Structure 1
Amino acid sequence: MVFAGNDPTGGAGLQADAEALMSMGCHAAPVVTAITVQDTFGLKGFAALEPGLVAEQARAILEDMPVAAFKVGMVGSLANLTAIAEVIADYPSIPAVIDPVLASGRGDPLSDEPLEDGFRSLLCPLATLITPNSREARRLVPEADSLEACAQGLMSLGSRYVLITGTHEPTEAVINLLYGNRQFLERFSYRRLPGEYHGSGCTLASSCAAVLAQGLEPVNAIVQALEYTHKTLEAAWSLGMGQQLPDRLFWAREDEADRD
């Protein structure tokens, strides 16, 4: 089950989540939290749905279909964040992947009110895995003096695992850092690709949720999701005039090329 906004480019949001989940062998149950107006350059506007409607969407599916994992992306408002946390809290045995979306890739805010306290107090305690980029990690733990301190802070709030992605860091390679059990676990280094990408965070968090839904333990699930996400970026295409969009169905087009 995915809680996220609709992105008309199809690069991020619910479509990105659904494509990633399908590619990793899962069916997506999309719960709409917000409608956005955006293109490949950035966000132009958004409207959050009413929190009661968000919760009703989720509970209707939870009473009808087996849900194997939750993934939370754009929530749109603090009221929606609260409603989502209340739903997830009722199903403690279902793993939850939290992508703490605070702003678009260009830096546009994705809520009319601050969400940091809500993520810290309501969603972190429910998170099997939280996947902030380095900017989000620093906003969520502003007192931290390092990314490791950010991760420790998020784990102290209840997140079992923390994966901090390093796209925004000034390093030659992209360094992603995984923490769990209150300690550093693994460092993943990837070649920094040229250009900018719209929807990479959605892709990563949803693919993590997909593999967790299939019963893999978290570290192996994260490794598989990182590999898949990097391949979608290597195959990214420029469908608009701004950021490139990850090709989450690259594997299908590779099969077509093999048949030609």
Structure 2
Amino acid sequence: MPHQDAKKQKPIVLTIAGSDSGGGAGIQADIKAISATGGYACSVITALTAQNTQGVTAVHPTPQAMIQAQLDAVFSDLSVSAVKVGMLGDSETIRTVAAALRRYRPAHLVVDPVMVTANGDMLLAEEAVNCLREELLPLADVITPNLPEAAALLGAALPKRLDEVESLFTGLGQLDCAAVLLKGGFLQQESRSPDWLLSDNQVRCFDTPRVMTGNTHGTGCTLSAALACYLGQGFNMEEAVARAKRYIDQAILAGSCLRIGQGRGPVEHFFAF
């Protein structure tokens, strides 16, 4: 038997999110992304969704006691290197998760403020937005909103042009969190797919060619999970974002030829294998 110190160590990354029965987003996408980018994935399920490539047909929130039990089970046994938070659903769940994160103090926290799916299905109650902003964002190393989520956080109109996106930078920089990775996938540009990292009063654009495909279900979940995994491996924020951006771009490209479901298909998380 090998000595304990000689055993291979992997960063343990916890995803706290909802389950997607279709397998393309949520907990399922997070576990795939964490595994593919070199981490060991564990999970806390905040809700069950009846979901496929065409949309969400039902949501069943996990009881708070069960969420707490999952959190305690993971943190009491596993040395968690990073945490990714996705779908929380309501204020009560946000408070339960935020209290646990304040108690256990993970080294890295990525918050994907999941509010609405790409198909327009609401995943966060409107009255919970303020709770998310006050309870969870101050704990995050980085939040990863898409354009509709950023607009909702700021109470602003949905930007459709680059100049309108840039007008959000000031408000996002004033949020009580260390950094913001603003995802520009919803921007109406045919050839480019820009994301912006706002940190230390600076803005860096990560701009890559857009892959023309309808298979983009779970891209936000996948990007934020990969980002958490790279932070857990010790990369600084800028390098972790660059690596996560390269990963999701390759996953989208490889997934563009997949034929899974009749709606918005998933990306190919394991393109490297």
TM (normalized to structure 1)?
0.91
Structure 2 match to 1:158: 176
Structure 2 match to 1:132: 145
Equivalent residue for 1:65, pick from 78, 93, 98: 78
Partner AA of 1:227 in structure 2: R
Conservation of the 8 A alpha-carbon contact between 1:11 and 1:198: yes
Give the distance between the partners of 2:99 and 2:49, measured in 1 at CA. 24
Q: 1:24 to 1:111 in 2, by over 3 A?
A: same
Q: Does 1:190 align with 2:209?
A: yes
Which deviates more from structure 2 when the two are superposed, residues 236-245 or residues 154-163? 154-163
Where does the alignment leave 5 or more consecutive residues of structure 2 unmatched? 1-13
- Structure 1 vs Structure 2 CA RMSD: 1.7
1:166-181 matched pairs, under 5 angstroms: 166-172=184-190, 173-181=192-200
Where does the alignment leave 5 or more consecutive residues of structure 1 unmatched? 253-260
1:21-170 matched pairs, under 5 angstroms: 21-92=34-105, 94-143=107-156, 146-170=164-188
Q: 1:112 to 1:132 in 2, by over 3 A?
A: closer
Conservation of the 8 A alpha-carbon contact between 1:16 and 1:202: yes
Q: 1:137 to 1:233 in 2, by over 3 A?
A: same
Structure 2 match to 1:249: 270
Equivalent residue for 2:247, pick from 208, 228, 236: 228
Conservation of the 8 A alpha-carbon contact between 2:26 and 2:87: yes
Q: Does 1:214 align with 2:214?
A: no
Give the distance between the partners of 1:113 and 1:152, measured in 2 at CA. 23
Conservation of the 8 A alpha-carbon contact between 1:152 and 1:183: no
Shift of 1:33: 0.3
Conservation of the 8 A alpha-carbon contact between 1:52 and 1:83: no
Partner AA of 1:238 in structure 2: R
Q: 1:116 to 1:150 in 2, by over 3 A?
A: farther
Shift of 1:149: 4.8
Shift of 1:8: 0.9
Which deviates more from structure 2 when the two are superposed, residues 46-55 or residues 197-206? 46-55
Shift of 1:156: 2.5
Shift of 1:185: 2.5
Which deviates more from structure 2 when the two are superposed, residues 215-224 or residues 54-63? 54-63
Give the distance between the partners of 2:173 and 2:72, measured in 1 at CA. 28
Partner AA of 2:241 in structure 1: I
Shift of 1:175: 1.4
Q: 1:226 to 1:187 in 2, by over 3 A?
A: closer
Partner AA of 2:188 in structure 1: P
Tell me which stretches of 4 or more aligned residues in structure 1 moved more than 6 Å. Answer: none
Which deviates more from structure 2 when the two are superposed, residues 75-84 or residues 107-116? 107-116
Structure 2 match to 1:8: 21
Partner AA of 1:164 in structure 2: L
Shift of 1:141: 0.7
Partner AA of 2:102 in structure 1: A
Shift of 1:153: 2.9
Conservation of the 8 A alpha-carbon contact between 2:91 and 2:127: yes
- Going by fraction, where is strand more abundant, 1 or 2? 2
Which deviates more from structure 2 when the two are superposed, residues 88-97 or residues 60-69? 88-97
- Paired residue secondary structure (2:40): coil
Which deviates more from structure 2 when the two are superposed, residues 87-96 or residues 228-237? 87-96
Shift of 1:239: 1.0
Partner AA of 1:109 in structure 2: M
